[in-house]
Every structure is written in C-alpha cells, then in structure tokens.
Amino acid sequence: MSDQTTLEQKAHSNGYLAGSNLERVLRAGHFAVTAELGPPQSADAQVIRQKAALLRGYCDAVNITDNQTAIVRMSSIGAAAIALQEGLEPVMQMTCRDRNRLAMQSDLLGAYALGLRNVLCLTGDHQSFGNHPQAKNVFDMDSIQLIHMVAAMRDEHVFECGDPLKGAEPRFFIGAAAAPFAGPVEFRPYRLGKKVKAGANFIQTQLVYDVEAFSKFMEKVRALGLHEQTFILAGVGPLKSPTMARYMQQQVPGILVPDALIERMEAAGAPWAGKKKEELTKEDKKARTVAWQQEGIQICIELIQQLRQIKGVSGVHIMAIEWEEAVKPIVEGAGLYPRPQVN
C-alpha cells in the first residue's frame, strides 16, 4: 500500500489498526469474503445463532445490518455480540439515521468493549421506506463525517467535540459503502475518495451485476489511486427469481441488472414457463424455485470470478439476506473455501 507508513503510524503496537480478522486477511493479501446477516424483528437470539451456523467458516467477517431499510430489528450491536459468541467476526453496521453524535460515540465505545472490531459507516435509508415512516430522523452527521469521527477516536484519541478520550480508545477497522451506479455517476469515484480521505480502511460496494460498468468505475478509482489506500470489496448477491431480478433492475436505485442475466434466470425456469398458476403442482413450483436458485447461485459464482480479475478488487461482499444458505455453495463454487487463517 502506498500509504503504508501512515497506516503503520496509526497502527497499534501489534502493527494493525484494529487487528480484526478482516483486517488481517486483507493485509496479508488474501481475497476477502464478507457476508451479511440480518437481525430478526424480535428479541430471539436463536435466529442469530441459526444464521451464524450457516455462515461460520465461509466468510472472514459478517455484516450485521442496522435497522435495514428502516425496519425495526434487533440492534446491530446486540446481534453482533451474539454472532461473536457464535464464532463469527461481525462488521457492525451503523447508520446516521437513528442516532446523533452522542449516541453513536457511546455505541462505538460499548461495541468495542463487547469485542467488536469492524464498523461499517452508513448514511442509512430514509425512514419513509420502513415500518415507522412517522419517525423523526436524526442525520446529525453523514456517513463521511461518521467515518472521520471513528478514525479520530482511534487515531487521535479524541471525541467529536475535541475532548480527549482518556483510557482505552475504540480501535475499529473502518468500513464504508460505495454506490458505483447511483447518480451522478461521474461523481461516484470522487465520493469514494472523500470516504477514503475521511478514514475508510475498507469499502463494500452496492450489488454489482454489470461487470462492465463496474470495471469502468474501477478504472477511475485506480486513476485516483484509491485502491492503494483502501481495500475494495465488490458487492454480489444471488438472484432468487426472474421477478426479483426485474424488480432490482427497475425499482432499486443504484443497481444495474443486465437483460442477459434476467434472460438466464428466465431460461432456468423455462420447463415451467407459459403455464398458468393452477396448472403447476406444488412439486412443479418447488422444482422451479430450486432451478432458479441454482442459476442465481451459478451467476453469482461467475460474477465473483469476473470481479476477481479486476485490478483493485480485494474481495467480495456477499449479500444473501434471508437466504444465508446460499453463501456456502457460492463460496465453495467460487473456489474461496476454505477461508485463510491469518494470525
């Protein structure tokens, strides 16, 4: 890394910024794999344990989402602490939507004390998407300011207000998101640059299905030298059905799904195509779902293989929310199993 010296200056006595497994894997030069675990809309710890069992051993760290899409769920910190007990390394997600700078800093202290070592700093979806659209949002800070605050707590031992942080500082490996295809597209590499400048050690991108468009983004990222200052993990996710693929293509901002992939998903369901709902037996429907899922997983594996060839891509972030079972075959199929052990 070109700014190795700065990293070393900031590093702890053990040579790492945070010493998380994710940091160790990335700094050792391995192609990293992260996954995602969505906490339940309940206080049921068992749900986390079951999902954790599906992911253990198949990723270097797992993102624990923070009230994703503005729907109330078990807190990211709480769920992350359980995941940690289950032998996973969590990446605690933190959005700016629900907390002000006081709450965010105190949560960072508490999370570190519980043993969490990675944080992903996000702006957060607007609450109008979720189940409490009447809520008052916070947005005291934005994601870039949050990144900077976490970095300053770690590297300069100060709170956001400038007061010194006396005693143990929270040492997080700091992540940020990138949306290569959101508007204005020309500005996206520069926005990533701002996140890196603010202190992002790793980046997880929005879902990539259009490898060509992503390559163009990465070209600009490399021209800015960002891939040498941060680790970039490309976001991937298995498609579940042609309907889901089309929905993402048309409805979800910042995601490009090429028609060719939708056609592949449709082809996978071809034996059952053209039939009316009533004509399909339960078994038919099940077989079609399996065929779609297999194709979705296969496409995901191919995407990982293509993304791996792009210079500056240090790993993949697999988003298979509510389909954690898919992670194992994807990681195995992409030749990324077993995961490296770095001490």
Scanning 119-127, 296-304, 305-313, 319-327 for contacts with other proteins by CB under 8 A, the matching segment is 119-127
Which two tokens mark 251? 């409805």
CA distance 172 to 200: 10
Query: Of 183-191, 241-249, 316-324, 334-342, which segment contacts other proteins by CB under 8 A?
Result: 183-191
Q: Are 172 and 201 in contact (CB under 8 A)?
A: no
Residue 254 is given by DSSP the state T
Judged by CB under 8 A, the residue of 182, 244, 287, 342 near other proteins is 182
Of 188, 215, 181, 244, which is closest to residue 312 (Cα–Cα)? 215
Which residue has 């490296």 as its token pair?
340
The count of C-alpha atoms lying within 13 angstroms of the C-alpha of 59, restricted to the half-sphere facing its C-beta, is 33
Which region among 11-19, 111-119, 182-190, 238-246 touches other proteins (by CB under 8 A)?
Answer: 182-190
Residues 6+ apart with CB under 8 A from 212: none
x/- track of binding to other proteins for residues 254-293 (CB under 8 A)? x---------------------------------------
Choose one: 20-28, 177-185, 240-248, 292-300; the region binding other proteins (CB under 8 A): 177-185
Does 184 bind other proteins (CB under 8 A)? Our answer is yes
Residue 317 as a binder of other proteins (CB under 8 A): the answer is no
Q: Is the separation of the CB atoms in 146 and 121 below 8 Å?
A: yes
Binding mask 189-208 for other proteins (x = CB under 8 A): -xx-xx--xx-------x--
314/291 Cα distance (integer angstroms): 31
Contact footprint for other proteins (CB under 8 A):
96-97, 101, 123-126, 128-129, 137, 139-145, 148-149, 160, 177-179, 182-184, 187, 190-191, 193-194, 197-198, 206, 253-254
